[in-house]
């Protein structure tokens, strides 16, 4: 399984990388960690004629957490292993850390990047789900300039994003929740540890002082052509005390709101039911965490 | 509890580091792809995208013109210039060649081979080969393939049935009429294989001056050099297979005969050394290494007290589009058809059917694992039907230790065993009573939890008696192996073995045996692999045979050396042989121990002092030993009774599994095995292979399947979809040993190369069904993936709701 | 070889700077095996699942089939050959695999040793769960992982007791 021939350049700056994409056209691809890209090239499913290597661009490896800012900026080439071990990032965007534990294996996390997984946009992958459910913003950089793309517009189909062929994902801006009592959870059903999810679910919520839910997001992966934020279902929880019955109803709604596909590992019906089951689990887990944080004296 | 009957030895049975390991842990292994050959060229394959089609045209000009390309070979030339590969049943019209001959019969079948300066360039050129196909009707369902109007995979053969026979051993119909109860069920063993991490690799070089084809391959196959030569229309001594190649795992699958014939032909044609390293896609789809793919229809007749009176088993096996030895995987289980139970009447109907799928080859156990799975499911069903504890049911039906040697209805005698003790040991090791309590606690907490027990046989010794059984025209009754021992001028001992090794530790096995008999430190004994021209006969490490056959041959050769030393000593000390003692390689007079001849002195006499050698004795100090498999050498009776393998190892698995009731995901929480393979020559090796066999069993039971779409496409052709268990899926495993020596072997050893795999899937299935039992549902197919379990649970809950 | 463009690279392998001239599509594992004749790293799947190709890349375990050789230019790679002592003898980790029978056919072993080395560098006293997690991306078909886990536990104990 040898890839088709291509040429290789190591970018020295981000500006240089996107300039190269602009001049070479859509047969050029960026490579960073390569954990998603190289297998596809080995199987000749992708045949770029030029690879522009951005893995070593320090400007894409920064994690910026400002105490006052509402978002955390994670450079696209931050390695998954580094993101997982970054204590401050784990505090600021706890859902990301929880999801990262499910991503691949030690070795793939040592090389795979946060941005790479997001741009690869496998609907069963964990990081695209986190980006979508938190409604992060994707900072795209092209020779023509930079722009911010909202997560809800970013994922357009399986393995397909709104990122222009000549653009590079420079960073992901994750929203930071400021509420006092917050909780989040990430769960997935995969056949083996480290595999892509059959279905994954992510939830994050906040409670007011009276224990009522003021804000909640719920998302699933593996249940459609892109990671999905189940806004209609989640909305039903706002204002409730997140009783079991309310969560169950939300999960039922969530499973009705998805149109999953069939494959050798899982039927559409199975995926639909997993959406329900995993939604319950992540909502309950997030609820426990949030309630723990809202106890007097801390969690 | 019975006492262990392990005999004591000096080296055998002791913890000893494997000789092979130092080279592997330092990266100095010598695998087939590691061998440098100057001027080596590389092969890539063009494969059929269709399950069934005529090849209308192949255009190779564009490919031939690509950079670095030396040759593009198609089936038209290859099939003309080579002979069809051998098939194990009487089906002369089912021909098989390395490249398709005018017709493709499975998606992934090789249509053309490109030879280029590098694999990458060969792949580039392979993409430029244009093949025009005219699709034909295809069949992928084995039951459909039986129908008279089904598309015929090999029209010249007349049907899709490669082999079919109805064996009846004992008064089956009467037993069914006389029994109090009967039950029937269907079980499906999904197609999987013990896929090794190394794919098949073969290099060949034609030495024109010597008219000799040199072959290096990652091979595990009986008669590989002979069949390669035959297909290439060369005499047997024009092919030299180098058996000193380290093989990266095989577990039955590395048969590679079509790869070797292809590469051998190319090497000769091009007068250049040529190598094919299957890439993983070629390996999975077109490597022809998939395993049994069976539908069992079973009936059991039993009495109210749980005694099983008779068994009827129909086994329909889908071998795919071509066959080699694969149909014979229905024959090997004849030797243990009633398992470890006292079932006096058995009807067995094996049917080997072809479909338009990747061909099956041999997999660890050669058909025994699926058979054990089907049988054990039935035992649990009988227990459930009677409301009887399945442990008690097994204890009632298991052959008792006083009954050995035990003759089963199909003509095989089980040599020795103490099944009840091994089972007890396994239960104790698993903490069975605590497990039951834990299971019941889990169930009260709303979880699905189950314990599975399987008691299964591992026939060992590898007598290929299924060959004449399934094909009376093939009167093969010889299944030998060999060892040659040399003591050189310096007194150092070298053992020579005559086949390949794929991780079974043969060098350690042979050096331990030689050391034991000659009473010399195994660490000082070297073991080498002969090549096929200098080799004594061997039938390769199949059928769990090497501990018995290679161990036995090594012991035999060592005994001959020892006798020679005794004779030399007797002659030089002037006393009869009976007056002498042998100790540590020195020989002394029993009555006067000071009168002794040392090892070095004996060696010197043998090699250099002809004047001191007994008359008529050959000079030098070497001995060969070739021997036939014990109990072998007979043809089957008219009703198909035969002694299959000589020795029977036994395993009892106890597995505790919990299933997430909402997702269907199973988790193995506890796994213990009681194992009796007689005397273990090296316990670490035996344990290691048993752990590995259990992992294979976990894979087959829960994760692995070669899945085909309705149009015959393999949809699990990469490691992303064919799911091999990792260290996170295989739990901690416990093995407890027992020893009932075999009366048939040199030290009482039985084979253990298939241990763990033969009883594992059965135990896991029984545990899963015990967990599903309270819901009133069950599963009788492998692999038991979360989707399947979820479906059973959902349907059961819906049924229970309706009833409520 | 034809028209394909080649690149001059320099990779430090097992402490020695190695030059090579390679096409961009050549993977790191193929560079090691073919150009540098270090056949200790093995190829099992070429799509990043089996882990037989694992090497230490800048000190961390990675799949060498998913790195192009040109990407390794200027970086440090340690292979199984590099785990030996300077005099070529086995280190404690390798010796522990031998003592615990942590291998059979040897094909996955280089990757397992690399994964174990990566783990023990960061967690000298790992739990069994941590060991299984560290080798969770390395497939073995011979051993069922049991004796591999025991080998790594033994190596950790021996290193903890001061053995080097």
* The 3-state secondary structure of B174-232, one letter per residue: HHHHHCCEEEEEEEEECCCCCCCCCCCEEEEEEECCCCEEEEEECCCCCCHHHHHHHHC
In this structure, is the dihedral angle defined by the CA atoms of residues A16, A20, A21 and A23, taken in order, positive or negative?
A: positive
- B127 near A CB under 8 A: yes
Q: Is it the case that residue C91 has pLDDT exceeding 60?
A: yes
Q: Could you tell me whether strands B201-207 and B274-277 are parallel, antiparallel, or unpaired per DSSP bridges?
A: antiparallel
| Separation between Cα atoms, residue B765 and residue B783, nearest integer Å | 9
Contact A192 B707 (CB under 8 A): no
- Confidence (pLDDT) at B2: 40
Asked whether residue B284 is assigned to any structural domain, the reply reads no
| Cβ contact, residue pair A4, B124, below 8 Å | yes
Asked if the peptide bond before residue B783 counts as cis, ω within 30 degrees of 0, the response is yes
Alpha-helix runs per DSSP H in B360-492:
368-386, 390-397, 419-430, 432-444, 466-470
**pLDDT (tens digit per residue) in A188-203:** 999 999 998 999 999 9
In contact, C54 and C110? CB cutoff 8 Å: yes
B691 shares a domain with B589: no
Quick one: which of B265, B221, B8 has its CA closest to B113?
Answer: B265
| Domain C6-83 CATH class label | alpha beta
Q: Residues in chain A whose beta carbon is closer than 8 A to a beta carbon of chain B?
A: 1-5, 39, 43-44, 189, 191-196, 198, 264-267, 270, 273-274, 277-278
CATH code, domain with B619: 3.30.365.10
B768 and B709 housed in the same domain: yes
User: Do B129 and B215 share a domain, yes or no?
Assistant: yes
Cβ contact B785–A193 (<8 Å): no
Does residue B3 register a pLDDT over 80? Answer: no
Task: Taking residues B443-471, report their average pLDDT.
Answer: 96
CA within 13 Å, CB half, B260: 29
- pLDDT-derived band at B415, boundaries 50, 70, 90: very high
Are the beta carbons of A191 and B703 separated by less than 8 Å?
yes
Q: C137: which chain A residues are within 8 Å (Cβ-Cβ)?
A: 104-108, 194
Domain assignment present for B358: no
Q: What is the DSSP letter of B405?
A: S
Residues of the domain holding B511: 480-628
Rounded alpha-carbon distances, angstroms, from residue B371 to B296, B332, B360, B381, B676: 8, 10, 16, 16, 20
Tens-digit pLDDT profile for residues A199-229: 999 999 999 999 999 999 999 999 999 999 9
Q: Cis before residue B528, ω within 30 degrees of 0?
A: no
B454, part of any domain = yes
- Report whether B167 contacts B347 (CB < 8 A): yes
Domain end marker among B277, B303, B327: B277
CB contact under 8 A, A192 and B725: yes
| Residue A34 to residue C71, Cβ atoms within 8 A | yes
Q: Which CATH superfamily is domain C92-160 in?
A: [2Fe-2S]-binding domain (1.10.150.120)
Q: Is residue B571 part of a domain?
A: yes
* Beta-carbon contacts below 8 Å between B and C: 195
State the Cα–Cα distance between residues A145 and A166, nearest whole angstrom.
Answer: 11
Name the residue facing A1 among B124, B280, B787 (closest C-beta).
B280
For residue B45, give how far its alpha carbon lies from the nearest alpha carbon of chain A (Å). 11
pLDDT 10s digits, A23-39: 998 899 999 999 999 99
Size of interface A-B (CB pairs under 8 A): 63
> In chain B, which residues have their Cβ closer than 8 Å to the Cβ of A191?
665, 703, 723, 785-786
Mean pLDDT calculated for residue range B519-540: 97
Radius of gyration for chain B, computed over Cα atoms and rounded to the nearest angstrom: 28
Whether the CA torsion B225, B230, B233, B235 is positive or negative: it is: positive
Chains with ≥3 CB–CB distances under 8 Å to A: B, C
**Contacts of A298 by beta carbon, 8 Å cutoff, 6+ apart:** none
**Residue C137 contacts A, CB cutoff 8 Å:** yes
Question: pLDDT of A46-70, one tens digit each?
Answer: 999 999 999 999 999 999 999 999 9
Question: If pLDDT is split at 50, 70 and 90, which confidence band does B1 have?
Answer: very low
**B66–C106 CB contact, under 8 Å:** no
Once rounded to an integer, what is the mean pLDDT over residues B400-421? Answer: 98
**Cβ pair C98:B21 closer than 8 A:** yes
Any idea what DSSP says for residue B403? G
B728 at the C interface (CB within 8 A)?
yes
- State pLDDT tens for residues B264-304: 999 999 999 999 999 999 999 999 999 999 999 999 999 99
Whether residue B714 contacts residue B108, with contact meaning beta carbons closer than 8 Å, is answered with yes
Query: Which uninterrupted H or E stretch holds A282?
Result: helix A268-293
For the purposes of burial, counting CB atoms within 10 Å of the CB of B578, is it exposed (0-12), middle (13-18) or buried (19 or more)?
A: exposed
Question: Cβ of C61 and A31 within 8 Å?
Answer: no
Residues B568 and B677 in one domain: no
B595, B628, B661 — which closes off a domain?
Answer: B628
Tens-digit pLDDT profile for residues B173-193: 999 999 999 999 999 999 999
**How far from B24 is each of B203, B242, C43, C104, CA to CA, in Å?**
21, 19, 15, 9
Q: Are B544 and B748 in contact (CB under 8 A)?
A: no
Query: Which residues have CB under 8 Å from B501's CB, separation 6+?
Result: B20, B246, B247, B507, B529, B541
Distance from CA of B415 to the nearest CA of C (A): 28
pLDDT of residue C1: 43
Domain ranges of chain C: 6-83, 92-160
Within this chain, do residues B434 and B485 fall inside the same structural domain, yes or no? no
pLDDT tens across B190-225, in order?
999 999 999 999 999 999 999 999 999 999 999 999
Task: Just give the CATH number of A7-53.
Answer: 3.30.43.10
B798 touches chain A (CB under 8 A): no
Nearest to C46 among A42, A111, A193 (CB): A42
Please give the residue of chain B at the shortest CA–CA distance from A3.
B120
Quick check: A298 pLDDT over 50? no
Strand order in the sheet with B41-47: B69-74, B110-116, B41-47, B274-277, B201-207, B212-217, B239-242
In a domain, B271, yes or no: yes
Nearest 5 degrees, angle CA B48-CA B53-CA B58?
A: 60
Task: Give the distance from residue B280's alpha carbon to the nearest chain C alpha carbon, in angstroms.
Answer: 5
Are B551 and B691 part of one and the same domain?
Answer: no
- Taking CB atoms and an 8 Å limit, are B120 and A5 in contact across chains? yes
Q: Is residue B123 part of a domain?
A: yes
Q: Which ipTM value was assigned to this complex?
A: 0.98
Residues of B in contact with C84 (CB under 8 A): 26
Structure confidence at residue C2 as a pLDDT band (50, 70, 90):
low
pLDDT recorded at residue B579: 97
- Domain boundary at B603, B628, B653, which? B628
- Residues of chain A with Cβ-Cβ distance to C9 below 8 Å are none
- Domain coordinates in residue numbering, chain A: 7-53, 58-175, 181-293
Residues 314-353 on B with a CB inside 8 Å of A are: none
Residue B327 lies in a domain: no
Per-residue DSSP letter, B749: B
Place of tokens 């046989």: B457
Residue C67 is predicted with a pLDDT of: 98
Q: What is the pLDDT of residue A26?
A: 87
Same domain, B540 and B647: no
Q: Is the CB of residue C115 less than 8 Å away from at least one CB of chain A?
A: yes
d(CA A214, CA A182): 10
**For the structural domain made of A58-175, what CATH number should be given?**
3.30.465.10
Which SS3 state, helix, strand or coil, does residue B480 take? strand
Contact B691 C146 (CB under 8 A): yes
CB contact under 8 Å between C48 and A39, yes or no, is yes
Left if phi > 0, otherwise alpha if psi is -120 to 50, otherwise beta: which for B461?
A: left
If one counts the domains in chain B, the total is: 3
Tokens 């009954």, located at residue: B403
Residue position matching structure tokens 């050396």: B561
Phi and psi at A72, nearest 5°, equal: -115, 130
Across the interface, whether the CB atoms of A267 and B662 are under 8 A apart is answered no
Q: Which chains touch B (3 or more CB pairs under 8 A)?
A: A, C
The predicted pLDDT at position B4 comes to 55
User: Testing the interface with C: which of B23, B26, B218 to mutate, by most C Cβ within 10 A?
Assistant: B26
CA distance C96 to C153: 9
Q: B803 pLDDT exceeds 90?
A: no
Q: What is the pLDDT of residue A197?
A: 95
d(CA B494, CA B486): 5
- Distance separating the N- and C-terminal Cα atoms of chain A: 51
Helices C109-122, C146-160: inter-axial angle, 10-degree rounding: 40
Q: What is the DSSP string of B118-181?
A: SHHHHHHHHHT-EEEEEE------HHHHHSTTSPPSSGGGSSSEEEE--EEES-HHHHHHHSSE
Q: Give yes or no for residue B378 having a pLDDT over 60.
A: yes
In terms of Cβ atoms closer than 10 Å to its own Cβ (0-12, 13-18, 19+), residue B624 is middle
* B1 has a chain A CB within 8 A of its CB: no
- Whole-angstrom distance, CA of residue B639 vs CA of residue B172: 14
Residues of A within an 8 Å Cβ radius of C: 1-8, 10, 31, 34-35, 38-39, 41-43, 51, 53, 55, 81, 104-108, 110-111, 193-194
Name the average pLDDT for chain B. 97
φ/ψ (deg, to 5) at B481: -150, 170
> Could you tell me which residues come within 8 angstroms of residue C96 by beta carbon, excluding any fewer than 6 positions away?
C102, C151, C152, C154, C155, C158
What local confidence, expressed as pLDDT, does residue B520 receive?
98
Query: Model confidence over B651-703: pLDDT tens digits?
Result: 999 999 999 999 999 999 999 999 999 999 999 999 999 999 999 999 999 99
B246 with C105: Cβ contact below 8 A = yes
Judge whether C133 is closer than 8 Å to chain A, CB to CB: yes
Helix or strand or coil: residue C160?
Answer: helix
Orientation angle between helical segments B368-386 and B760-772, nearest 10 degrees: 30
Percent of residues, chain A, with pLDDT higher than 70: 98
Exposure of C34 in the CB half-sphere (CA atoms within 13 A):
18
Coil vs helix vs strand at C111: helix
Q: Report CB contact under 8 Å: B249, C141.
A: yes
Residue C150 pLDDT exceeds 60: yes
CATH number where B51 lies: 3.90.1170.50
Q: Could you tell me the CATH superfamily of domain A181-293?
A: CO dehydrogenase flavoprotein, C-terminal domain (3.30.390.50)
């Amino acid at each position: 399984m040898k890839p088709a021939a291509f040429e290789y350049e190591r970018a020295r700056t981000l500006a240089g990388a996107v300039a190269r994409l602009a001049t070479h056209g859509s047969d050029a691809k960026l490579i960073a960690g390569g954990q998603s890209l190289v297998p596809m090239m080995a199987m000749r499913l992708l045949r770029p004629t030029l690879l522009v290597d951005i893995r070593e661009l320090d400007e894409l490896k920064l994690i910026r957490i400002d105490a006052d800012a509402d978002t955390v900026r994670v450079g696209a080439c931050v390695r998954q292993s580094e993101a997982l071990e970054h204590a401050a990032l784990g505090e600021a965007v706890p859902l990301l850390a929880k999801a990262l534990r499910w991503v691949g294996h030690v070795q793939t996390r040592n090389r795979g990047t946060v941005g790479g997984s997001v741009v690869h946009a496998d609907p069963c992958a964990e990081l695209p789900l986190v980006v979508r459910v938190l409604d992060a913003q994707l900072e795209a950089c092209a020779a023509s300039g930079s722009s911010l793309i909202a997560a809800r517009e970013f994922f357009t189909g399986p393995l397909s994003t709104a990122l222009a062929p000549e653009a590079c994902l420079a960073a992901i801006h994750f929203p930071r929740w400021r509420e006092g009592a917050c909780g989040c959870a990430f769960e997935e059903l995969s056949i083996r540890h480290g595999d892509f999810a059959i279905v994954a679910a992510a939830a994050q919520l906040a409670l007011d002082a009276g224990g009522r839910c003021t804000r909640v997001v719920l998302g699933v992966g593996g249940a459609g052509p892109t990671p999905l934020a189940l806004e209609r279902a989640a909305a039903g929880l706002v204002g409730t005390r997140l009783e079991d019955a309310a969560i169950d109803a939300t999960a039922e709604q969530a499973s009705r709101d998805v149109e999953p596909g069939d494959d050798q590992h899982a039927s559409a019906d199975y995926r639909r039911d997993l959406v329900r089951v995993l939604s319950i689990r992540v909502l309950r887990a997030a609820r426990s965490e949030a309630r723990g944080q809202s106890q007097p004296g801390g969690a | 509890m019975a006492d262990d009957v392990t005999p004591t030895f000096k080296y055998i049975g002791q913890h000893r580091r494997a000789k092979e390991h130092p080279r592997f842990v330092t990266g100095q292994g010598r695998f087939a792809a590691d061998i440098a050959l100057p001027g080596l060229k590389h092969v890539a394959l063009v494969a059929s995208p269709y399950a069934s089609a005529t090849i209308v045209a192949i255009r190779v000009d564009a490919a031939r013109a690509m950079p670095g390309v030396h040759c593009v070979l198609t089936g038209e030339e290859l099939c003309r210039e080579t002979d069809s590969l051998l098939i194990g049943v009487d089906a002369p019209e089912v021909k098989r060649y390395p490249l398709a001959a005018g017709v493709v019969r499975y998606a992934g079948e090789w249509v053309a081979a490109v030879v280029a300066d590098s694999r990458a360039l060969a792949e580039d050129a392979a993409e430029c080969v244009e093949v025009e196909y005219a699709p034909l009707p295809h069949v992928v369902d084995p039951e459909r393939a039986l129908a008279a109007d089904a598309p015929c995979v090999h029209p010249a053969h007349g049907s899709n049935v490669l082999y079919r026979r109805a064996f009846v051993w004992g008064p089956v119909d009467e037993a069914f009429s006389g029994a109090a109860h009967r039950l029937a069920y269907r079980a499906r063993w999904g197609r999987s294989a013990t896929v090794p991490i190394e794919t098949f690799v073969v290099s060949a070089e034609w030495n024109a001056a010597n008219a000799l084809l040199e072959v290096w391959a990652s091979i595990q196959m009986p008669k590989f050099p002979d069949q390669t030569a035959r297909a290439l229309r060369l005499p047997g001594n024009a092919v030299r297979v180098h058996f000193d190649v380290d093989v990266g795992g095989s577990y039955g699958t590395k048969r590679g005969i079509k790869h070797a014939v292809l590469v051998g032909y190319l090497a000769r044609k091009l007068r250049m050394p040529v190598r094919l390293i299957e890439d993983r896609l070629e390996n999975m789809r077109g490597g022809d290494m998939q395993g049994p793919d069976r539908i069992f229809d079973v009936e059991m007749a039993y009495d109210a007290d749980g005694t099983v009176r008779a068994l009827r088993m129909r086994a329909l096996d889908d071998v795919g589009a071509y066959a080699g030895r694969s149909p014979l995987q229905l024959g090997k289980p004849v030797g243990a058809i009633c398992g470890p139970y006292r079932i006096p009447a058995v009807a067995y109907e094996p049917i080997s059917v072809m479909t338009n799928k990747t061909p099956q080859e041999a997999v660890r156990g050669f058909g025994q694992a699926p058979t054990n799975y089907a049988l054990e499911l039935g035992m649990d069903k009988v227990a459930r039907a009677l409301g009887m504890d399945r442990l008690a049911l097994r204890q009632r039906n298991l052959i008792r230790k006083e009954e050995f040697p035990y003759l089963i209805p199909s003509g095989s005698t089980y040599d020795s065993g103490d099944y009840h003790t091994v089972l007890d040991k396994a239960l104790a090791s698993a903490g069975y009573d605590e497990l039951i309590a834990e299971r019941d606690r889990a169930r009260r907490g709303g979880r699905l939890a189950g314990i599975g027990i399987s008691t299964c046989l591992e026939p060992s010794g590898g007598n290929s008696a299924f060959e004449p059984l399934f094909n009376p025209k093939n009167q093969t009754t010889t299944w030998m192996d060999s060892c040659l021992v040399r003591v050189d001028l310096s007194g150092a001992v070298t053992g020579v073995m005559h086949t390949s090794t794929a991780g079974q530790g043969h060098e350690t096995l042979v050096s331990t045996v030689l050391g034991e008999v000659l009473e010399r430190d195994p660490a000082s004994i070297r073991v080498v692999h002969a090549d096929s021209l200098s080799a004594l006969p061997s039938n390769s490490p199949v059928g769990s045979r090497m501990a018995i056959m290679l161990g036995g041959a090594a012991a035999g050769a060592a005994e001959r050396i020892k006798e020679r030393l005794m004779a030399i000593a007797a002659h030089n000390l002037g006393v009869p042989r009976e007056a002498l003692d042998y100790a540590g390689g020195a020989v002394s007079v029993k009555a006067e121990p000071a009168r002794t001849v040392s090892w070095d002195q004996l060696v010197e006499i043998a090699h250099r002092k002809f004047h001191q050698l007994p008359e008529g004795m050959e000079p030098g100090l070497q001995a060969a030993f070739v021997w036939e498999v014990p109990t072998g050498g007979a043809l089957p009776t008219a009703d198909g009774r035969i002694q299959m393998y000589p020795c029977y190892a036994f395993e009892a698995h106890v597995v505790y599994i919990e299933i997430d009731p909402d997702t269907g995901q199973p988790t193995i929480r506890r796994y213990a095995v009681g194992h009796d393979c007689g005397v273990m020559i090296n316990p670490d090796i035996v344990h290691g292979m048993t752990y590995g066999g259990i992992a294979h069993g976990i894979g087959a039971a829960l994760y692995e399947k070669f899945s085909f779409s309705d149009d015959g496409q393999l949809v699990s052709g990469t490691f992303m979809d064919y799911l091999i268990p990792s260290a996170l899926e295989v739990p901690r495993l416990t093995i407890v040993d027992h020893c009932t020596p075999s009366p048939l072997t040199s030290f009482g050893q039985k084979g253990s190369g298939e241990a763990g795999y033969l009883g594992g899937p059965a135990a896991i299935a029984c545990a899963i069904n015990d967990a599903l039992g309270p819901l009133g549902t069950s599963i009788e197919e492998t692999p038991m993936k979360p989707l399947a379990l979820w479906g059973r649970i959902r349907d059961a809950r819906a049924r229970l709701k309706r009833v409520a | 070889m034809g028209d394909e463009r080649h690149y001059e690279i320099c990779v430090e392998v097992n402490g020695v700077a190695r030059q090579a001239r390679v096409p961009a599509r050549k993977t790191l594992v193929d560079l090691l095996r073919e150009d540098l004749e270090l056949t200790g790293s093995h190829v099992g799947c070429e799509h990043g699942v089996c882990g037989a190709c694992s090497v230490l890349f800048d000190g961390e375990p990675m799949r060498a089939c998913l790195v192009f050789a040109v990407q390794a230019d200027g970086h440090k790679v340690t292979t199984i050959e590099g785990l030996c002592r300077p005099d070529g003898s086995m280190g404690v980790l390798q010796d522990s695999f031998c003592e615990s029978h942590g291998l059979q056919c040897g094909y996955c072993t280089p990757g397992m040793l690399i994964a174990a080395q990566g783990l023990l560098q960061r967690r000298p006293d790992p739990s069994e769960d941590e060991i299984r997690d560290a080798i969770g991306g390395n497939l073995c078909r011979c051993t069922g992982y049991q004796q591999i886990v025991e080998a790594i536990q033994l190596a950790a104990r021996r290193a903890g007791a001061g053995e080097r």
